[in-house]
């Protein structure tokens, strides 16, 4: 029983370990930035923000509080993120937990830097929701389709049995030729022998006839 319970307990513990990350941020929202910039955090479980703080690339700090599950959006009440060379760092109890790339957002629109499979992409913002990593997903899908097509092509059985190619090598050709030559010489030999036998028979008949004639 212990053998089953111990791994099960470990799995439960591991699955509950925090995996908080900075998921998206908008440093240049459409219109005025002041009061409209925001950062989105993500954690797959429930998390208490006690001890967490955000730090920007200039070293300014914001202490977080409260708790959340899945997505959490913090909207800055002042202009806190630069539109150039900006990045965000997440600390817990003084230790770095996560950080973004240092990037630019010169586009005064609803495109924001989003975490997409370990890379940061500048895509349409999805505040408080799953990031819209369409470009990457489309690419993955098209890659899958290409792979699938390739597999289909590769796995399609050939309906027509492959024609058996009989190749006659030089040796084979030579043998055939030799056989023909041999046949010819055989016929000549047999012909010659037959001819000789006929001559002998005629000679015997003639001798017999001559002998009878003289008797
Ligand atoms: Ca703006
Ligand atoms: Ca923007
Ligand atoms: Ca999002």
Ligand 2 centroid distance, CA of 127 (Å): 12
Ligand 1 centroid distance, CA of 109 (Å): 7
Q: The dihedral of CA 148, 146, 124, 122: what is its sign?
A: positive
Q: Cα–Cα distance between 106 and 108 in angstroms, integer?
A: 6
Location of structure tokens 């001890």: 51
Residues with CB under 5 A from ligand 2 (ion): 28, 105, 111
Name, of 150-154, 185-189, 201-205, the range with top average pLDDT. Answer: 201-205
Q: Cα–Cα distance between 29 and 38 in angstroms, integer?
A: 9
Q: Which of 103-107, 123-127, 191-195 has the lowest average pLDDT?
A: 191-195
Q: What is the pLDDT of residues 41-59, one digit of tens each?
A: 999 999 999 999 999 999 9
Q: What is the pLDDT of residues 117-133, one digit of tens each?
A: 889 999 999 999 999 99
Q: CA nearest 21: which of 109, 116, 152, 104?
A: 116
Residue 84, pLDDT > 60, answer: yes
pLDDT band at 215 (very low <50, low <70, confident <90, very high): very low
Ligand 2 centroid distance, CA of 139 (Å): 23
What pLDDT sits at residue 49?
Answer: 98
Residues with CB under 5 A from ligand 3 (ion): 24, 40, 126, 131
Q: Specify the pTM.
A: 0.58
Q: Cα–Cα distance between 37 and 107 in angstroms, integer?
A: 13
pLDDT band at 70 (very low <50, low <70, confident <90, very high): very high
Give the ligand at the shortest distance from the Cα of 33.
1
Give the ligand at the shortest distance from the Cα of 110.
2
The total of other beta-carbon atoms located within 10 Å of residue 107's CB is 12
């Amino acid at each position: 029983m212990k053998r089953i319970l111990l791994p099960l307990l470990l799995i439960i513990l591991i699955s509950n370990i925090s995996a908080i990350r900075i998921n998206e941020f908008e440093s240049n929202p459409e219109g005025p930035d002041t009061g409209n910039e925001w950062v989105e955090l993500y954690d797959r479980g429930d998390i208490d923000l006690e001890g967490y703080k955000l730090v920007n690339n200039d070293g300014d700090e914001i202490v977080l509080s409260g708790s959340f599950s899945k997505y959490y959006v913090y909207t800055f009440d002042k202009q806190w993120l630069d539109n150039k060379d900006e990045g965000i760092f997440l600390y817990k109890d003084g230790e770095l937990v996560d950080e973004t790339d240092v990037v630019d957002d010169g586009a005064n629109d609803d495109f924001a830097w989003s975490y997409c499979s370990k890379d940061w992409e500048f895509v349409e913002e999805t505040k408080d929701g799953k990031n819209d990593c369409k470009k990457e997903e489309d690419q993955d899908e098209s890659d899958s389709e290409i792979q699938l097509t390739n597999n289909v092509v590769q796995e399609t059985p050939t309906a027509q049995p492959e024609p058996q190619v009989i190749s006659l090598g030089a040796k084979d050709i030579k043998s055939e030729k030799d056989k023909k030559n041999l046949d010819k010489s055989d016929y000549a030999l047999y012909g010659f022998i037959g001819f000789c036998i006929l001559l002998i028979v005629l000679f015997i008949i003639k001798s017999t006839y001559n002998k009878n004639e003289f008797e």
